[in-house]
Amino acid sequence: MSKFIGKRALASAVSLIGLVILVFFLSRLTGDPTDLYLPLDASVEAREQFREMHGFNDPLIVQFGRYVGDLVQGDFGESIRQARPAMQVVLEAFTWTLALAVITMTFVTIAAIVVGSLAAFRAGGIFDRLATFFSLIGASAPDFWIAIVAIVIFSVNLQWLPTSGTGSAAHWVLPVAVLFIRPFGLIVQVVRGSMINVLSSAYVKTARAKGVRTLPIIFVHGLRNAMLPVITVIGDQAAAILNGAVVVETIFGFPGIGKLMIDSILLRDFSVVLAAIMISALAIFLMNLLIDIAYALLDPRIRY
């Protein structure tokens, strides 16, 4: 297991280095930050002083070399917009996204496993048809459309919930609900398909013949052997939220890492963009590693 983790860590480090190089040079193509942070009538001297202060006067390759040198020493640069360490800005935003992801995926995982398992136990029945119908709609509906409709109905017309912010528990309801719908639909379908295969196996039929009750058959005998493909989808959906639910965070004004990346790209806050990319990539690596470890715990054959 340790050798496997080492190989995955090395591969992820190489990918992260390539990503940093790509983002560094592409971000510089968005334009000169002085056009955004200084008045239009700013003097040439003021513009030169601003560029010199932030190191934009040097050639790109020199800027990149200096950035790598600072990165090796643990310095991720300073936010131009907020005049404080870029990593500090990113970690504050990532905390909000992490909380949003944990809350959402907890509800999604529990609800999807229960609904998908019960639908598979009576495949073709009324509950199965309803679960399949609504899960397919949820998996297909675009997040931005659901978010806008939710705001119109629950915030504008009914005035039950706030449209944006994070001041109270009510502010979290719409973002969590909107992010809930798509992964719920996807995971229900995977759980249902996997459980149908498991519940048709010989050992489950034997358990039924021996008079084992329905719930133990589903959640004890069947679910563990059906979880391998389910874990993959759960991990992918969790990584997608951790990577920044950009649309949802932007629409609801949620101060997560997705909204931070969009704002930083538009405002050419290069150090924050790079720090956000690195934190997001690291989160995805850790999520994939946890999935692989969960595989080995659920199926001992994978360990060999």
Neighbours of 84 (CB within 10 A): 10
Kindly compute the dihedral angle of the four CA atoms of residues 84, 88, 93, 99, in this order, to the nearest 10 degrees: -160
Q: For residues 270 and 79, what is the distance between their CA atoms, to the nearest angstrom?
A: 8
Residue partners of 268: CB distance under 8 A and separation at least 6: 27, 30, 31, 32, 33, 36, 80
Q: What is the DSSP string of 125-163?
A: SHHHHHHHHHHHHHHHS-HHHHHHHHIIIIIIIS--S-S
Stretch among 27-31, 74-78, 172-176, 254-258 having the lowest mean pLDDT: 27-31
At 221 the pLDDT is: 65
How high is the pLDDT of residue 104? 92
Query: What pLDDT does 187 receive?
Result: 92
211 Cβ partners below 8 Å, 6+ apart?
A: none
Neighbours of 50 (CB within 10 A): 18
Whether the CB-CB separation of 128 and 192 falls below 8 Å is answered with: yes
Q: Given this model, what pLDDT does residue 110 score?
A: 92
Q: Is the dihedral of CA 270, 272, 275, 278 positive or negative?
A: negative
C-alpha closest to that of 249 among 134, 82, 97: 97
Residue with tokens 């990319």: 277
Compute the C-alpha angle 175/181/183, nearest 5°: 105
User: For residues 275 and 75, what is the distance between their CA atoms, to the nearest angstrom?
Assistant: 10
**According to the model, what pLDDT value does residue 176 have?**
92
What is d(CA 153, CA 160) in angstroms, rounded to the nearest whole number? 9
Q: List C-alpha distances in Å: 56 to 43, 48, 176, 187.
A: 17, 9, 40, 47
Which pLDDT does position 300 carry in this prediction? 61
Structure tokens at 160: 């039950």
Q: What is the maximal distance between C-alpha atoms in the chain? A: 87
Take residue 288 and report the two structure tokens written for it.
């994939």
Please report how many Cα atoms fall inside a 13 Å half-sphere around the Cα of residue 188, on the Cβ side.
Answer: 29
Model confidence at 152, in pLDDT bands (50, 70, 90)? very high
pLDDT tens digit sequence for 160-205: 988 887 878 888 999 999 999 999 999 999 988 888 887 777 766 6
Sorted by where each starts, the structural domains of the chain and their CATH numbers stand as 2-72 (no CATH), 86-303 (1.10.3720.10)
Output the pLDDT for position 304. Answer: 53
Q: How high is the mean pLDDT of the chain?
A: 83
pLDDT, mean of residues 48-70: 85
Cα–Cα separations (whole angstroms), residue 288 to 23, 113, 143? 22, 20, 24
Instruction: Look at residues 11, 188, 33 and name the one whose alpha carbon lies nearest to residue 108.
Output: 188
Name the pLDDT band for 212 (thresholds 50, 70, 90): low
Give me the percent of the chain exceeding a pLDDT of 70. 88
